Structure 1
């Protein structure tokens, strides 16, 4: 049986509605007030959790202009890593008021730590869970350090091959993690839907026997909702107030209405999965009149023999099914019947 995890009493797994994480990331654009508003909108529009990223430029990279540190071929072309992270990070002194506000609104809040000092900060705030970002999935010492907290952990797997994913999973277990989930991810910003190969989700689930979700960087909700049908039990999307806000992540993030549609659509897709069931559904009960069945088309007496002039396959569906047509021919009636009466076995000899 597939394992589950639990974050703040919310069970996450294949038999539960998808867990929707709104990623705040850099979309506060340097404003604590904006960060508060994003958390509020995440709650209003149905997200289960809001997620931060906990780093500073100095905990994530080196302040260097060397060619290795200059970003090329992405949305952030030409900036150094240090410049990007200085613009994007969430100040550590914001974390407590953001955690307090989310708890006041009753929406789960946790974060992605990028080094040990970040884990220590989040432990002081009693974070209920941890997320390992895709680019940190190869940082096995960090994964083990997070695992030692005993909290549930979600690991994103963008850029990681199957062997690296297995190493990350093993590191989590080696560190003492008891509740683990992984997210299929494509680390493009934005990423085209055709890069996602969502069938990978099923392989990940069968290979690791833990909840699998999707970290989705496409521009709409189609890929995320489709992933639910393939077994995704967690969906993470970047979330902003305004896609045109000009921040580092705004352009590929969902706005409030998009988040609302994701939450509704993902839950609907999960509900539609159901189980194998060929029986008549409650919504079909009133439509039996639109099926075909066999009816008598003339008045007949007890003892009459039924021939092709006596019965027809017509709507409604309250008589014997048309498959009994040949079987009924040649049978004798045991009582009188009126024209337009449904055929029944007990009328026949």
Structure 2
């Protein structure tokens, strides 16, 4: 497996290449596509190479009990978790509109974290430069195997995972023929500087053979 991850005709991730900066937009757009575009523009102006959102198919990711539970906190966009999440989820057409805005107008790469297999299919259909797997799914080996089967580059966060799980991730994705980058993450928001633990990158490079490793915030 090559040390470099090719995420486009003119961009690679690896030890001999410039730092690749991804601006996490997530769902901070509050369900408003105009706010999402403003955040894309701000990310580009700040020097980001790529903007990243989050994508979920609610009925694929959650069971009915989770979706129906009351969600009445001060930051809720609906009285159930399903209504809250629906408010924050963009349609595939809206994602395509944001991708067009990011790549054509702002000249910045566009991708998203896929939270389920349906979302992997949709992002793959958009021909994104890579699919992100968040820390919360790093131990979801069936999802990783499915994502790797698309033969599209993956960036996989490893927050909250121990080295045995990281090795399982490596074996699973490699066996499926996937191209991927493992990222050291600290699942604390915001992360105190004294907890960043950048030397974990050395552990990843020793514990996972011939692999591209990086730093990601989630």
TM class by shorter chain equals 0.7 to 0.9
1:193 CA displacement: 2.7
Distance in 1, matches of 2:217 and 2:200, equals 14
Matched, 1:181 2:206: no
Q: Which residue of structure 1 aligns with residue 32 of structure 2?
A: 31
Distance in 2, matches of 1:139 and 1:65, equals 19
1:5 CA displacement: 0.8
Decide which moves more: 43-52 or 208-217: 208-217
1:56 CA displacement: 3.5
CA contact (8 A) 2:49 2:108 kept: yes
Distance in 2, matches of 1:193 and 1:88, equals 30
Distance in 2, matches of 1:84 and 1:187, equals 23
SS, match of residue 11 in structure 1: strand
SS, match of residue 182 in structure 1: strand
1:157 CA displacement: 0.3
CA contact (8 A) 1:130 1:154 kept: yes
Distance in 1, matches of 2:193 and 2:170, equals 26
CA contact (8 A) 1:20 1:48 kept: yes
1:207 CA displacement: 1.9
Please give the per-residue CA displacement for 1:172-203, whole angstroms capped at 9, x wherever unaligned.
111111x3111111222333233332211111
Write out aligned runs for 1:122-271 (5 A). 122-177=123-178, 179-208=179-208, 209-216=210-217
Distance in 2, matches of 1:53 and 1:59, equals 15
Question: Any unmatched runs of 5+ in structure 1?
Answer: 218-349
**TM-score, structure 1 length as denominator?**
0.55
Write out aligned runs for 1:267-346 (5 A). none
SS, match of residue 197 in structure 2: coil
Q: Which residue of structure 2 aligns with residue 270 of structure 1?
A: none
Matched, 1:101 2:115: no
Aligned pair count?
A: 209
Q: Which residue of structure 2 aligns with residue 91 of structure 1?
A: 91
Question: Any unmatched runs of 5+ in structure 2?
Answer: none
CA contact (8 A) 1:39 1:102 kept: yes
CA contact (8 A) 2:133 2:154 kept: yes
1:58 CA displacement: 2.6
Q: Which residue of structure 2 aligns with residue 49 of structure 1?
A: 50
Q: Which residue of structure 1 aligns with residue 20 of structure 2?
A: 19
RMSD of aligned residue pairs (Cα, Å): 2.6
CA contact (8 A) 2:167 2:207 kept: no
Change (3 A) 1:5 1:94: same
Q: Which residue of structure 1 aligns with residue 113 of structure 2?
A: 112
Distance in 2, matches of 1:6 and 1:100, equals 21
1:18 CA displacement: 0.7
CA contact (8 A) 1:182 1:213 kept: yes
CA contact (8 A) 2:163 2:207 kept: no
Change (3 A) 1:206 1:2: farther
**TM-score, structure 2 length as denominator?**
0.85
CA contact (8 A) 2:156 2:182 kept: yes
